[in-house]
A and B are shown apart, each in its own frame.
Chain A
Amino acid sequence: MADVFPADSVGLVTPQTQHFSEPLVLRSGRVLPSYDLVYETYGTLNAERSNAILICHALSGDHHAAGYHHADDKKPGWWDSCIGPGKPIDTRHFFVVALNNLGGCAGSTGPTSINPETGEVYGPDFPILAVRDWVNSQARLADVLGIQQWAAVVGGSLGGMQVLRWSIQFPERVRHAVVIASAPKLSAQNIAFNEVARQAIAKDPDFHDGHYQKFGTIPKAGLMQARMLGHLTYLSDDAMRQKFGRELREGKLNYSFAPEFEVESYLHYQGEKFSTRFDANTYMLMTKALDYFDPAADFNNDLVACLSQAQCRFLVVSFTTDWRFAPQRSEEIVNALMHADKDVSYACIESENGHDAFLLPIPRYLDVFNAYMQRVRNDIAPAEAV
């Protein structure tokens, strides 16, 4: 069966679900009495349990980071470019854990789940989560899997924020932190983009203040708008010019308001696809977690003092045309780490793909990532040295 998949793929994978009955106290003060986390693993945990890598997903990601669920799947998991045999996160050497975060809509407990206290779906009443809540829940998953210390915690964008949070919240449980296309906190411009996206959803008449499941509707138009806006901020001007230019779908102007330019139909397609797979309340919640993230706030806004808590080594990566999480934002992290006297390496990868670059197999990006993960391997207990 496996030979129908590419040789550098992890092949067929099956998600697992872990139930947690111990209540989780959230940053907001609210409590999740119990919850499920759905996750996938790739590779084999070694006897010392020292080769585990945690993958933290971004806004619209989930636990399906690599491989295929079915032999006829058209696309592999969202980070298949970097996870698999011979890839930077090499599953011949590492045991990889990827989960769907709490509040998500791919199987873990979230707004579409039943609230055990009311017997009805949570909908908009699902508690608003902070990045640290995700990290706490991930730590409980690590406990269940018997992983005391991650060889590395890895993530891009919002995933990178979880990596930063791990490094200061559980310093002794992280050996290496890989923070890609991320930021120490969002800028006003970034929060503004998120608010426009949320408003697009909230103002959709099918949203019903988040109770759309009760009404049997989906705020499809709102989700489409939110995704179209988000998607275009993940691309660069150059990438859009090269990909679409001013190409017309029918080769001529039709003097109509229907999509005429290729870029328009591309955005419609992306929005449409997203609106059928993603939950609106989850989108609202994930963007809020992004907005709230500001770990330095607990340290008098001193990022150096904040990151001084960390004990791990860091790799920070940014991309030249990423304006949503610009290289300067990664450099704030790097400078703070250097001031805190932490081990850190930093590469700013030339790319025309904007924020999306962190998901793409860009040769220099893979080289840097590979070289660093080799170091992570070198730090794994002697068993690996065989």
Chain B
Amino acid sequence: MTDTPLRADLAILEQWVKPNSQVLDLGCGEGLLLQHLQRHKNVRGYGLEIHPDKITRCIANGINVIEQDLDKGLSNFADNSIDTVIMAQALQAVERPDLLLDEMLRIGDEAIVTFPNFGYWRTRFYLMFKGRMPMSETLPYNWYDTPNIHMCTFRDFEVLCREKGIRILNKTVFDGQHQEHWTIRLWPAMLGEIAVYHITRKHK
């Protein structure tokens, strides 16, 4: 069996998943994260996905995959039934990211979310100088066909968390090459292109 290295945001969030825990991966793609977590952390869990080809890949990869549309809610999962609910690079593509965050923390004790930063300096400059909706390797779509319908900045996300009483346990920020560099830590809201947030509703 091949064991390809994980994308950097996934490698980071892996540290925050407890061994032998129960995981739900929203928008699990081909199931590579869950496969990795099963092998290395002995987690049990399910991935939710909507794209037919990715679902088939998950099944081939030995992942428990459930065909389910995140925009139709997660009411089939009970309160506090999962240790960690993960959503990598999908928050900006759902209809109501705020409601989905509520659902994630209703089902899970903790959640881990990764998303691209619309406040990244290149994005800001693109809009400022070109006067057009920013496109990049991280955001490769046109404004009219993008699945990313709810872009936000790191600050937007943190404000939303504050308003909802969501506690941020950990946070890591990368550039587009998924490199974590000391300069990014100086001014993450401007220099970070992708963030990984580890959140909970529980208080110490």
Contacts and interface: CB of A to CB of B under 8 A. Distances in A.
A170 interface: no
Interface in A341-386: 341, 343-348, 350, 364, 367-368, 371-372, 374-375, 378
Interface in A256-304: none
Contact of A371 (B60, B64, B66, B77): B60
Nearest to A378: B62
A334 B55 CA distance: 15
A348 B78 CA distance: 22
A334 B66 contact: yes
Given A335-B76, A345-B66, A347-B67, A374 B60 contact: yes
A217 to B, nearest CB: 49
B64 A345 contact: yes
B4 to A, nearest CB: 19
Given A347-B55, A364-B52, A368-B55, A338 B60 contact: no
B66 A367 contact: no
A335 B107 CA distance: 14
Contact of B78 (A339, A344, A371, A378): A339
Contacts of B59: 315, 345, 347, 368, 371-372, 375
A378 B59 CA distance: 12
A345 B44 contact: no
A347 B46 CA distance: 13
B191 interface: no
A331 interface: yes
Given A331-B76, A338-B46, A364-B52, A343 B60 contact: no
A372 B60 CA distance: 6
Nearest to B58: A345
B56 A371 contact: yes
Dominant secondary structure of chain B at its interface with chain A: mixed
B52 A375 contact: no
B65 interface: yes
Contacts of A350: 52
Given A331-B76, A335-B76, A368 B56 contact: yes
Given A331-B76, A338-B46, A339-B78, A346 B56 contact: no
Nearest to A372: B59
A346 B67 contact: yes
A346 B60 contact: no
Interface string B55-81: 111111011111110000000111001
B66 A346 contact: yes
Interface in B8-60: 22, 44, 46, 52, 55-60
Nearest to A346: B66
Contacts of A339: 78, 81
A209 B190 CA distance: 83
Contact of A338 (B52, B62, B66, B67): B66
Contacts of B60: 371, 374-375
A315 B65 CA distance: 10
Contacts of B58: 345
Interface in B119-140: none
Select the residue from A341, A346, A375 with max chain B CB neighbours within 10 A.
Answer: A346
Interface string A74-113: 0000000000000000000000000000000000000000
A373 B55 CA distance: 14
B67 A344 contact: no
A374 B56 CA distance: 11
B67 A375 contact: no
Select the residue from A344, A367, A378 with max chain B CB neighbours within 10 A.
Answer: A367
Contacts of A368: 55-56, 59
A339 B81 CA distance: 8
29 contacts: A315-B59, A331-B76, A335-B76, A339-B78, A339-B81, A341-B22, A341-B44, A343-B64, A344-B46, A345-B58, A345-B63, A345-B64, A346-B65, A346-B66, A346-B68, A347-B55, A347-B56, A348-B67, A350-B52, A367-B52, A367-B56, A368-B55, A368-B56, A368-B59, A371-B57, A374-B60, A375-B59, A375-B60, A378-B62
Given A367-B52, A375-B59, 10 more contacts: A345-B59, A345-B65, A345-B66, A346-B66, A347-B52, A347-B55, A347-B56, A350-B52, A364-B56, A368-B55
Closest 8 CB pairs of A and B: A371-B59, A371-B60, A335-B76, A346-B66, A367-B56, A348-B67, A345-B65, A371-B56
